[in-house]
């Protein structure tokens, strides 16, 4: 996944200076030929252009002052040529060419992405999220306005957009129109609010998860369009309290949720259009898949949840099955359910 960082190249002030010098030489040369050789303005301009571009002047028997003037024009044009060669060498050999190539490849990779995740913010929480998505082999793009953080993410092998996630153009670069979900964890709650508004306006169907830093911000971000809003401190407190009260349960849940373990995992699979399981009882589904899988729950489209469902529960379009099994077992049933 390592392709580089999307970042607009800054304009080089030196190139502007070189262009200004060329225009200045052209102006001085034209004026000089008009005064020293009594040429028409067009002929003087043409003669100056020939000297600057070819460094050639075929007349030898010219007054000494005119010869010095022509040599100065040629010398000035050589300065421009020298700097052009310098920039060309830096572009080819000092990493600019390589970096531009990586950036273009990465842009094409992101353009080809669909049903991917976008992580807005590569701070402490964002890094953990990226690690988890990477462990699950999920397609994702990291957005961060800090160049150092973006570089670190790229060095880790992640697709990266170095830009402001509150701006719509940055989200568009990250493929928001074809994304499956946006995970918003910037340092500022105000930024979270802006990103949610922008993401929802660009893609009404994208699933948005955002972080709030305070209880009062949770409702605002939810109203802005986020599907889920979390308070990290609340989650951490709940997890630590549960570890103290029921440590064995927490250890078991950590094993099945952690993607690094193959023993048991929990997966959410949606009954999609054209699935053979639509309007069929759960018992039919169980007869078609690996019997080692356990159906923990069915999340209905209307928001209700059936925990430990019986075999006569009928599966409907877009219902979600919460399954537990090994990674290999879960991978086998993904195509059948979809």
Domain CATH number, residue 79: 1.10.287.70
145 with 58, same domain: the answer is no
Task: Tell whether 210 is covered by a domain.
Answer: yes
- Cα–Cα dist 107/113, whole Å: 10
Strands, E, within the chain: which ranges?
5-6, 117-120, 140-144, 159-162, 181-184, 207-211, 228-230, 265-270, 280-281, 294-299, 305-307, 314-315, 320-325
* Secondary structure element (H or E) that encloses residue 213, with its range: none
Least confident of 60-64, 147-151, 192-196, 315-319: 60-64
What are the pLDDT digits (tens) for 276-289? 888 888 888 777 66
Residue 205: HSE in the Cβ half-sphere, 13 Å Cα cutoff: 5
Task: Tell whether 54 is covered by a domain.
Answer: yes
What average pLDDT does the segment 136-153 reach? Answer: 92
What average pLDDT does the segment 11-20 reach? Answer: 72
321 with 272, same domain: the answer is yes
Mean residue pLDDT of the chain comes to 82
134 with 62, same domain: the answer is no
Sequence-distant (≥ 6) Cβ neighbours of residue 252 within 8 angstroms: none
38's torsion region: left (phi>0), alpha (psi -120 to 50) or beta?
left
Residue 190: HSE in the Cβ half-sphere, 13 Å Cα cutoff: 0
CA triplet 63, 66, 67: central angle to 5 degrees?
85
Domain limit, last residue, from 235, 267, 287: 235
User: In CATH, what number is assigned to the domain containing residue 286?
Assistant: 3.30.70.1450
- Cα–Cα dist 331/290, whole Å: 11
Contact 174, 113 (CB under 8 A): no
pLDDT value of position 9: 45
- Cα–Cα dist 241/128, whole Å: 21
- Give the pairing type, strands 320-325 and 265-270: antiparallel
Please tell me whether residue 6 adopts helix, strand or coil conformation. Answer: strand
What average pLDDT does the segment 100-108 reach? Answer: 79
Domain limit, last residue, from 204, 235, 266: 235
pLDDT value of position 336: 56
Task: Tell whether 156 is covered by a domain.
Answer: yes
Report residue 38's pLDDT band, with 50, 70 and 90 as the boundaries: confident
Task: Tell whether 4 is covered by a domain.
Answer: no
User: In CATH, what number is assigned to the domain containing residue 206?
Assistant: 3.40.50.720
230 with 257, same domain: the answer is no
68 with 120, same domain: the answer is no
pLDDT value of position 62: 75
Asked whether residue 84 carries a pLDDT value surpassing 80, the answer given is no
Task: Tell whether 99 is covered by a domain.
Answer: no
Domain limit, last residue, from 205, 235, 265: 235
Boundaries of domain holding 227: 113-235
Total domains in the chain come to 3
The answer to pTM > 0.85 is no
217 with 284, same domain: the answer is no
CA triplet 276, 280, 283: central angle to 5 degrees?
110
Contact 277, 337 (CB under 8 A): yes
Contact 192, 119 (CB under 8 A): no
258 with 150, same domain: the answer is no
**pLDDT over 90 percentage in the chain:** 26
224 with 150, same domain: the answer is yes
Q: Report the range out of 37-51, 90-104, 288-302 with the highest average pLDDT.
A: 37-51
Task: Tell whether 100 is covered by a domain.
Answer: no
pLDDT value of position 48: 87
Task: Tell whether 333 is covered by a domain.
Answer: yes
Output the six-digit token pair for 206. 């994208």
289 with 226, same domain: the answer is no
What average pLDDT does the segment 49-55 reach? Answer: 81
125 with 223, same domain: the answer is yes
DSSP state of 308: S
Report residue 261's pLDDT band, with 50, 70 and 90 as the boundaries: low
210 with 265, same domain: the answer is no
Compare 274 and 315 and report the one with higher pLDDT: 315
Strands, E, within 86-168: which ranges?
117-120, 140-144, 159-162
What is the residue whose two structure tokens read 């430990």? 308
Asked whether residue 156 carries a pLDDT value surpassing 50, the answer given is yes
Task: Tell whether 138 is covered by a domain.
Answer: yes
What are the pLDDT digits (tens) for 59-68? 657 787 887 8
327 with 286, same domain: the answer is yes
């Amino acid at each position: 996944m390592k392709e580089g960082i999307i970042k607009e190249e800054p304009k080089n002030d030196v190139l502007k200076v070189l262009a200004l010098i060329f225009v200045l030489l052209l102006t001085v040369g034209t004026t000089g030929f008009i005064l020293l050789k009594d040429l028409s303005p067009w002929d003087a301009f043409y003669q100056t252009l020939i000297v600057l571009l070819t460094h050639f002047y075929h007349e030898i028997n010219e007054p000494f002052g005119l010869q010095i003037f022509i040599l100065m024009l040629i010398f000035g044009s050589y300065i421009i040529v020298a700097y052009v060669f310098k920039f060309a060498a830096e572009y080819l050999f000092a990493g600019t060419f390589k970096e531009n190539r990586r950036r273009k490849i990465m842009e094409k990779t992101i353009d080809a992405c669909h049903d991917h995740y976008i992580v807005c913010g590569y701070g402490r929480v964002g890094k953990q999220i990226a690690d988890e998505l990477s462990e699950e082999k999920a397609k994702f793009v990291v957005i961060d306005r800090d160049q150092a953080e973006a570089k670190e993410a790229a060095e880790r092998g992640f697709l990266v957009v170095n830009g402001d996630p509150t701006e719509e153009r940055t989200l568009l670069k990250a493929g928001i129109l074809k994304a499956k979900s946006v995970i918003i964890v910037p340092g500022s709650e105000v930024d979270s609010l802006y990103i949610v508004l922008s993401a929802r306006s660009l893609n009404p169907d994208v699933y948005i998860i955002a972080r709030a830093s305070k209880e009062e911000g949770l409702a605002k971000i939810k109203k802005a369009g986020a599907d889920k809003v979390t308070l990290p401190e609340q989650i951490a407190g709940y997890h630590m309290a549960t570890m103290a009260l029921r440590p064995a349960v927490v250890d078991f849940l950590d094993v099945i949720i952690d993607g690094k373990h193959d023993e048991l995992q929990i997966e959410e699979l949606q009954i999609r259009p054209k699935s053979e399981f639509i309007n069929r009882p759960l018992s039919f589904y169980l007869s078609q898949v690996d019997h080692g899988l356990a159906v923990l729950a069915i999340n209905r489209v209307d928001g209700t949840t059936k925990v430990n469902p019986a075999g006569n529960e009928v599966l409907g379009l877009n219902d979600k099955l919460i399954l537990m099994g090994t990674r290999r077992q879960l991978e086998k049933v993904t195509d059948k359910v979809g």
